Structure 1
Amino acid sequence: MKEDMNLDFLKRLAKGIVQHFGNDCEVVIHDLKAENLQNTIIGIENGRVTNRKIGDGASHIVIEALNNAKHDSKDSLGYLTKTHDGRTLKSSSIYIRDENNEPTGIFCINYDITQLTIAENSIKSLLNHQEESTEVEKIPRNVNDLLDDLIDQSVKVIGKPLALMNKEDKIKAIQFLNEAGAFLITKSGDKISEYFGISKFSIYNYIK
Structure 2
Amino acid sequence: MLQDSKLNFLSQIGKAIAGQFGKDCEIVIHKIDSNDLNHSIISIENGHVSSRHLGDGPSEVVLEALQKEPEELVDQINYLTRTHDGRILKSSTVYVKDETGQLEAIFSINYDVSSLIAAESAINALIKVESKENKHEPSLIPKNVNDLLDELIQESVRLVGKPVALMNKEDKIKSIQFLNDKGAFLITKSGDKVANFFNISKYTLYNYIG
Counterpart contact for 1:34–1:40, Cα < 8 Å:
no
What is the CA RMSD across the aligned residues, in angstroms? 1.7
Q: Within 2, Cα distance between the matches of 1:26 and 1:188? A: 28
Q: Which residue number in structure 2 is paired with residue 128 of structure 1?
A: none
Note if 1:137 corresponds to 2:139: yes
Q: Within 2, Cα distance between the matches of 1:112 and 1:120? A: 14
Q: Which residue number in structure 1 is paired with residue 180 of structure 2?
A: 178
Counterpart contact for 1:37–1:143, Cα < 8 Å:
no
Kindly state the Cα deviation for residue 134 of structure 1 after the two structures are TM-superposed.
3.5
* Structure-2 change in CA distance of 1:133 and 1:180 (3 Å): closer
Q: Which residue number in structure 1 is paired with residue 106 of structure 2?
A: 106
Counterpart contact for 2:116–2:123, Cα < 8 Å:
no
- Structure 2 SS opposite 1:105: strand
Counterpart contact for 2:92–2:108, Cα < 8 Å:
yes
- Structure 2 SS opposite 1:110: strand
- Structure 2 SS opposite 1:35: helix
* Structure-2 change in CA distance of 1:120 and 1:52 (3 Å): same
Identity %: 54
Kindly state the Cα deviation for residue 33 of structure 1 after the two structures are TM-superposed.
2.3
Kindly state the Cα deviation for residue 122 of structure 1 after the two structures are TM-superposed.
8.1
Q: Which residue number in structure 2 is paired with residue 58 of structure 1?
A: 58
Counterpart contact for 1:31–1:40, Cα < 8 Å:
yes
Deviations 1:113-160 (A, max 9, x none): 001111116889xxxxxxx96311110111101100110110011111
Kindly provide the amino acid, as one letter, of the partner of residue 162 in structure 2. K
Unaligned runs of 5+ in 1: 125-131
Q: Within 2, Cα distance between the matches of 1:4 and 1:123? A: 40
List, as ranges, runs of 4+ consecutive aligned residues in structure 1 with deviation greater than 2 Å: 121-124
Note if 1:68 corresponds to 2:68: yes
Note if 1:187 corresponds to 2:193: no
Kindly state the Cα deviation for residue 84 of structure 1 after the two structures are TM-superposed.
0.3
Q: Within 1, Cα distance between the matches of 2:76 and 2:122? A: 29
Note if 1:207 corresponds to 2:202: no
Unaligned runs of 5+ in 2: 125-133
Q: Which residue number in structure 2 is paired with residue 115 of structure 1?
A: 115
Kindly state the Cα deviation for residue 69 of structure 1 after the two structures are TM-superposed.
1.5
* Structure-2 change in CA distance of 1:183 and 1:120 (3 Å): same
- Structure 2 SS opposite 1:202: helix
Kindly state the Cα deviation for residue 44 of structure 1 after the two structures are TM-superposed.
0.5
Q: Which residue number in structure 1 is paired with residue 47 of structure 2?
A: 47
Q: Which residue number in structure 1 is paired with residue 129 of structure 2?
A: none
Q: Within 2, Cα distance between the matches of 1:28 and 1:43? A: 6
* TM-score, normalising length: structure 1: 0.92
Kindly provide the amino acid, as one letter, of the partner of residue 176 in structure 1. F
- Matches of residues 149-188 of structure 1 in structure 2 within 5 Å? 149-188=151-190
Aligned residue pairs total 201
* TM-score, normalising length: structure 2: 0.91
Q: Which residue number in structure 2 is paired with residue 12 of structure 1?
A: 12
Kindly provide the amino acid, as one letter, of the partner of residue 196 in structure 2. E
